Chain A
Amino acid sequence: MSLERQEVEKIAHLARLAVPEEDRETLARELSGILDFVEQMSAVDTGGVEPMAHPLRMAQRLRPDRVTEESRRELFQSIAPETEAGLYLVPKVIE
């Protein structure tokens, strides 16, 4: 399985990672190498095998509907890059 440059650009965009022009070829090659390696799986017949998303066969535990958290805005926003009036700031979002 070899990845084309455009595919690398597409997934880099989906993952919101800037990849400089000059690194794209190398990256495409490295990722293709990993995908080649992973490709061994396709030789195995997994017909009828249930996918295993989780190591334990347990069911979800449910939490009682109680408010247990208080406002810790000041603490949480002390580690934020940019805030104002209690809001997190980001470059203008256009709808």
Chain B
Amino acid sequence: MQWETVIGLEIHAQLATKSKIFSGASTAFGAEPNTQACAVDLGLPGVLPVLNGEAVTMAVKFGAAIEAEIGLRSVFARKNYFYPDLPKGYQISQYESPIVGMGQVEILLEDGSSKRIGVTRAHLEEDAGKSLHEDFHGQTGIDLNRAGTPLLEIVSEPDMRSAKEAVAYARRIHQIVRYLGICDGNMQEGSFRCDANVSVRPMGQEELGTRAELKNLNSFRFLERAINHEVERQIDLIESGGKVVQETRLYDANKDETRSMRSKEEANDYRYFPDPDLLPVELDEAFIAAIIADLPEMPDTKRHRFIVSYGLSAPDAEALTAGRALADYYEAVVASSGDAKLAANWVMVELGGALNRVGMDILDSPVKAESLGNLVARIKDDSISGKIAKQVFEAMWAGEGDADTIIESRGLKQITDSGAIEAVVDEVLTANPQQVENYRTADATKQPKMLGFFVGQVMKKSQGKANPQQVNDLLLSKLSL
């Protein structure tokens, strides 16, 4: 039987506020346990939540970026359950009236076409603390520093049909929150977490199959692998006469498998109700309009603009708009070099390769955009050849100065002075009379190949600096005499 995979993602993005969503405690990562858990985060008797306005602004930014409806009146609700990392015995979340309603994003498929993925909703909620499972005399330690960190939970429609699509969607959301500067996107530290709802159904069937929820997918690679494993598991199960049960499964990266989380409560009954400690959040149109007006250019728009204005291919445009810093860098290189295509090559291939080798972020690049632009400009104006440029780039990377200084100090400037080139050409022709004679008497079809000998000699004598085109032209004219 032919099976179709159906995937929906729930993404939790930690919002990059300084303080927590309902308290004035710091959200900085990596502090000593429980030193950033204030009275409100600990749920001490009598404390009350007060909403962080920045978290609201960030959620609205996200909504605007995915062209979603923004809830003019959103309501916080309590999700009640007992767990040691949940201090109050309930999580403050949004249930019936989320701050961000239906929206959508576009992903690029492998065949170059694009697909729209629906975003059902995005709502604000507080993060829980962490359970540390190292053994404390058979007990578990609880660190509540993370409790109360603002989260934006982004729920997609079940619109994805493969693990690859799911990854493309997750990357797109990751890219958007990073563009907006509302989440640092650090998956290792848990700032960006994905849960996947996965089900399969016979191709052509309308009705959805029973889904399993995959958790603990803390990299895009794990997301892809876990989904593929789960799809395989479900198909095997159904084909061998079994049934998929609705459950939460934990991905184990070490064993590369998913396993059922049986310890989670059998039947959850979260008893949601409006939180009486928080009033409805009311936003006015002007507030939303101001946020929309203030949005940076988003990836989709930027990508389309790169294709149109710079004449880039879709994959190149996608690669160069992956991050806002990279796109900004590229545009600065274009501006100072005046050659969009050459700039694209240099940013993606030479610079990208160098950064990759040392695992460095573009923002930390030792070669600044203006310098790289300058180097590209020297290629464009024939001051140096592409080959020499690589040498210059290495020197720039090593901190030896800007392109012009290096070209100057190392004497790498291409010789374009026709008099100087002519002198070298004459020298070579004089030194090789036999070859000149051979060339002149040879069959016209063999001459181009024989010309290579003279070019090589001239380049060697000029230490590679002579402009190859000029050398060619001069040789041709002198040899035909």
Contacts and interface: CB of A to CB of B under 8 A. Distances in A.
A95 B144 contact: no
Interface stretch (A21-29, A30-38, A42-50, A68-76): A68-76
Contacts of B138: 91-92
A81 to B, nearest CB: 11
Given A84-B141, A89-B139, A92-B139, A65 B17 contact: yes
Contacts of B50: 61, 63
Nearest to B142: A88
A76 B45 CA distance: 12
Contacts of A41: none
Contacts of A69: 23-26, 38-39
B274 A65 contact: no
A27 B42 CA distance: 32
Contacts of B44: 76
Contact of A88 (B84, B133, B263, B269): B84
Interface stretch (B108-116, B186-194, B276-284): B276-284
B18 A54 contact: no
A85 B33 contact: yes
Contacts of B52: 62-63, 65
A60 B279 contact: yes
A16 B38 CA distance: 25
Given A62-B56, A64-B53, A68-B19, A73 B279 contact: no
Interface in B133-177: 133, 136, 138-144
A15 B271 CA distance: 11
Interface in B78-94: 82, 84
B279 A59 contact: yes
A86 B279 CA distance: 34
A18 interface: no
Contacts of B207: none
B54 interface: yes
A87 B273 CA distance: 31
B51 interface: yes
Interface of B, helix, strand, loop or mixed by DSSP: loop
Given A62-B51, A90-B140, A94-B263, A71 B35 contact: yes
Contact of B282 (A60, A64, A68): A60
Interface residues of A, number: 35
Interface of A, helix, strand, loop or mixed by DSSP: loop
A65 B19 contact: yes
Nearest to A53: B274
Contact of B18 (A58, A67, A71, A84): A67
A39 B280 CA distance: 29
Contact of A95 (B54, B136, B263, B279): B263
A71 B36 contact: yes
A48 B36 CA distance: 46
Contacts of A91: 138-140
A17 to B, nearest CB: 11
A93 B140 contact: yes
Given A59-B282, A62-B56, 14 more contacts: A14-B269, A54-B279, A58-B279, A59-B281, A60-B280, A61-B279, A67-B18, A71-B36, A73-B32, A76-B44, A86-B143, A91-B138, A92-B139, A95-B250
23 contacts: A14-B269, A59-B280, A60-B279, A62-B51, A62-B53, A64-B54, A67-B24, A67-B25, A69-B39, A73-B34, A76-B34, A76-B39, A82-B139, A86-B32, A86-B33, A86-B35, A87-B33, A88-B84, A89-B136, A89-B141, A91-B139, A93-B131, A93-B133
Top 3 A-B pairs ranked by shortest CB distance?
Answer: A68-B24, A87-B141, A62-B53
